[in-house]
Amino acid sequence: MQYYEDLVVGTVSRYGHYEVTREEVIAFASKYDPQAFHLDDEAAAATHFGRLSASGWHTASMVMAMTVAHLKANSQAGLGSPGIDELRWVRPVYPGDTLRCENVLLEKRRSKTKPERGLIRGETRVFNQHDELVMSMKALGMIATRDPAGTD
């Protein structure tokens, strides 16, 4: 198990391989973001998206799927997230794209009120198969401490 004490600020992690399918783009958008440019080829062609593109919330959710798989592979003792800063959808994500992530740990500190928790902040950048940045965000996270009495 990986705990707060094991994390090193500045560490870069590269992970994930998510193939974006047309079927999934339309299924997600139909339920959560039914705007024409996420549902219909013709309507999308008339907008700055150019063609059918994934909902930004779908992209964020695909990023979460890659991140959870990565955390599980590293047996990280995650406790959820209080939030996200500066989420940016930089380029459209299209069916047929393959996404991957790069994360850097920006900072870590112990919770002042709950010593069994550490608080972390990381930046995640998401790229397509052309190595173009499609999304970025700074995510807050919580992780269990191995030793609540520790001082690091």
**C-alpha dist (Å) from residue 20 to 26, 100, 118, 128:** 11, 11, 34, 10
Report the 10 Å Cβ neighbour count for 92. 21
**Judged by CB under 8 A, which of 11, 21, 35, 129 binds a copy of itself?**
35
Using the minimum distance from each CB to a copy of itself, give the nearer residue, 10 or 80.
80
What H or E segment, with its residue span, contains residue 118?
strand 117-127
The answer to whether 17 contacts a copy of itself (rule: CB under 8 A) is: no
Residue that is written with structure tokens 């959870």 in the block: 68
The answer to whether 76 contacts a copy of itself (rule: CB under 8 A) is: no
Binding region for a copy of itself (CB under 8 A) out of 2-10, 81-89, 100-108, 118-126: 81-89
Using the minimum distance from each CB to a copy of itself, give the nearer residue, 77 or 105.
77
Using the minimum distance from each CB to a copy of itself, give the nearer residue, 59 or 128.
59
The answer to whether 50 contacts a copy of itself (rule: CB under 8 A) is: no
Whole-angstrom distance, CA of residue 136 vs CA of residue 56: 11
Binding region for a copy of itself (CB under 8 A) out of 9-17, 52-60, 102-110, 123-131: 52-60
Is 134 strand, coil or helix?
Answer: strand
CA neighbor of 137 nearest in space, from 77, 100, 99, 83: 83
**C-alpha dist (Å) from residue 1 to 4, 54, 63, 97, 98:** 10, 35, 22, 33, 30
Using the minimum distance from each CB to a copy of itself, give the nearer residue, 87 or 105.
87
By CB under 8 A, name the binding residues for a copy of itself.
28, 31-35, 37, 47-49, 55-58, 60-62, 64-65, 68, 78-89
